[in-house]
Structure 1
Amino acid sequence: MHRVKAIVSYDGTDFSGWQKQPGKRTVQDEVEKALTKVHKGGPSSVTASGRTDSSVHALAQVFHFDTGLTIPEEKWPKALNSHLPEDVQITAAAYVDEDFHARFDAVEKEYRYRVLHAKQKDIFRRRHTFFYPYPLQIEEMKKAVRFIVGTHDFSSFCAAGTDVKDMVRTVYKAEILEIEDEIHFIFRGDGFLYNMVRIMVGTLLEVGKGVKSAEAIPEIIGARKRAAAGKTAPGHGLYLWEVVYNE
């Protein structure tokens, strides 16, 4: 058997997230069905770097699978894409050591969130950006986002329903970019809690509206209570941008 590491992009709009769920369309299910066809009916399973929720997109989700086939690694994307729907695409694949694990070996992840900050909706971006027409104090948001960098207990930025006990994470990078009529939130860290990025974005938008101050972010982190932070931004503006592994 050989282990393959693959990178997949997907438009999450019409999916109920990455992970398989009975009676729902998921990215994992589509990928595994494609693998089963390539293996001519043999059962196939994949392990991803982590889950993405309903409507969340991915530029570079990583997963691994085991195979007895000897397809050249550069031909795996074509072999799988021929059986995948148009909103899922394998962009790369490579043979790796048999002990490689897409989830446990990941050392960093980067997420990006796109906000359309305009007076009118754009129907062509409605499923890929969060439309936010309200006035925002961008410089205050940029001050606030700096407080997120570092190692903290991020309980205030974790949604209910998780079974994770350790809420400490390290955020290496947190910044806000203005790109034409969009605001991009960028977060890179060693891992993220359930809905953590979306709650951080929602909180920073409240800073931009003047509902919260930039200086309140350390207090929100210190509170370790979900109620201290802002609303959860919707999933369709979020992208899993990159997953990093040690060489």
Structure 2
Amino acid sequence: MKNIKLTLQYDGTRYKGWQKQKEEDNTIQGKLEALLSKMTEEEIQLHGCGRTDAGVHALNYVANFQTSKDLTAEYILDYCYKYLPQDIQIMQVEEVPLKFHARYNAKSKTYVYSIYNYKYRDVFNLKYATHVEEPLDIDKMREATKYLIGTHDFQSFTTLKSKTKSTVRTVHSINFTKDGDYINISYTGDGFLMNMVRIITGTLIEVGLGIIPPEEVEDIRDKKERKYAKAVAEAKGLFLKEVYY
């Protein structure tokens, strides 16, 4: 038995997210499992490093599967390149120990959210950044992040409905970079809840627009109720950048 690790990238625009759904096979996992099952002539179960929502992109997504077939990394890479849609690309294939699991062994992840902050939209980047017309105050946005960095209960910043799963997470850093009219917000943490990065980004955009003051983010966090963090940034601006093991 071989355990195969895949590193891939994808444009999530036309997909219903990573995770395979019973009623919807237009997912990244669904497309890959179908192809890998055909390639190996086995029923493949693909384990991903986490879920990405519909419309979210990935620059370095990690997944693994096990197979009894003696296939080389080069063969798997070439097969996937030939038959996958052009918006899903396997970049690296490697055999790893059987105990490796893409999700359970991940120690931290980095997501990047891209904002185009200019009066007029950029037609060549509509699928990969959220357009905010009014000027954003990055200093105020950065000030607000001090209430989010560290270990906190992020229940206000998730759409997770489960009452049994913990909503405590550790955010190691939130950094801002500016490239012309593009503002990129980089989030690194031990893990992120459903829609957590998008809700935090939506809240930071409200801070940057002067809708709420930076210190209100602490109050929203401490109330631990989803209704207080109302804004959700669009999926299209979010990228899974890196997974660390």
Report the TM-score when normalising by structure 2: 0.95
> For residues 165 and 83 of structure 2, what CA distance do their matches in structure 1 show?
39
Please give the secondary structure, in 1, of the residue aligned with 2:151.
Answer: strand
Give the corresponding residue for 1:31.
32
Q: Deviations over 1:175-200 (max 9, x none)?
A: 12111111111100001111000000
Q: CA deviation at 1:174?
A: 0.7
Q: Deviations over 1:5-28 (max 9, x none)?
A: 111100000001111122341111
Q: Using the TM superposition, name which of 71-80 and 7-16 deviates more.
A: 71-80
> For residues 179 and 66 of structure 1, what CA distance do their matches in structure 2 show?
42
| 1:82-121 alignment runs, 5 A limit | 82-121=82-121
Spell out structure 1 runs of 4+ moving beyond 6 A: none
Q: CA deviation at 1:142?
A: 1.4
Q: CA deviation at 1:164?
A: 5.4
Q: Structure 1 residues 235 and 162 mapped into 2: Cα distance closer, same or farther (>3 Å)?
A: farther
Tell whether the 8 Å contact from 2:178 to 2:184 is kept in structure 1 after alignment.
yes
Give the corresponding residue for 2:229.
229
Tell whether the 8 Å contact from 1:200 to 1:230 is kept in structure 2 after alignment.
no
Q: CA deviation at 1:74?
A: 4.4
Give the corresponding residue for 1:220.
220
Q: Using the TM superposition, name which of 73-82 and 8-17 deviates more.
A: 73-82
Tell whether the 8 Å contact from 1:74 to 1:92 is kept in structure 2 after alignment.
no
Q: Structure 1 residues 164 and 19 mapped into 2: Cα distance closer, same or farther (>3 Å)?
A: farther
Give the corresponding residue for 1:204.
204
Please give the secondary structure, in 2, of the residue aligned with 1:82.
Answer: helix
Give the corresponding residue for 2:65.
65
Tell whether the 8 Å contact from 1:74 to 1:94 is kept in structure 2 after alignment.
no
Please give the secondary structure, in 2, of the residue aligned with 1:8.
Answer: strand
Q: CA deviation at 1:223?
A: 1.1
Unaligned runs of 5+ in 1: none
* Code of the aligned partner of 2:157: F
Q: CA deviation at 1:163?
A: 5.7
> For residues 235 and 180 of structure 1, what CA distance do their matches in structure 2 show?
22
Q: Structure 1 residues 2 and 26 mapped into 2: Cα distance closer, same or farther (>3 Å)?
A: same
Give the corresponding residue for 2:168.
168
Tell whether the 8 Å contact from 2:42 to 2:67 is kept in structure 1 after alignment.
no
Report the TM-score when normalising by structure 1: 0.94
Tell whether the 8 Å contact from 1:146 to 1:175 is kept in structure 2 after alignment.
no
Give the corresponding residue for 1:8.
8
Q: Deviations over 1:106-144 (max 9, x none)?
A: 110111110111111112111111111112212111111
Please give the secondary structure, in 2, of the residue aligned with 1:211.
Answer: coil
Aligned positions, number: 244
Unaligned runs of 5+ in 2: none
> For residues 130 and 151 of structure 2, what CA distance do their matches in structure 1 show?
28
> For residues 224 and 160 of structure 1, what CA distance do their matches in structure 2 show?
12
Give the corresponding residue for 1:49.
49
Please give the secondary structure, in 1, of the residue aligned with 2:215.
Answer: helix
* Code of the aligned partner of 2:86: E
Q: Structure 1 residues 207 and 10 mapped into 2: Cα distance closer, same or farther (>3 Å)?
A: same
* Code of the aligned partner of 2:136: L
Q: Using the TM superposition, name which of 54-63 and 212-221 deviates more.
A: 212-221
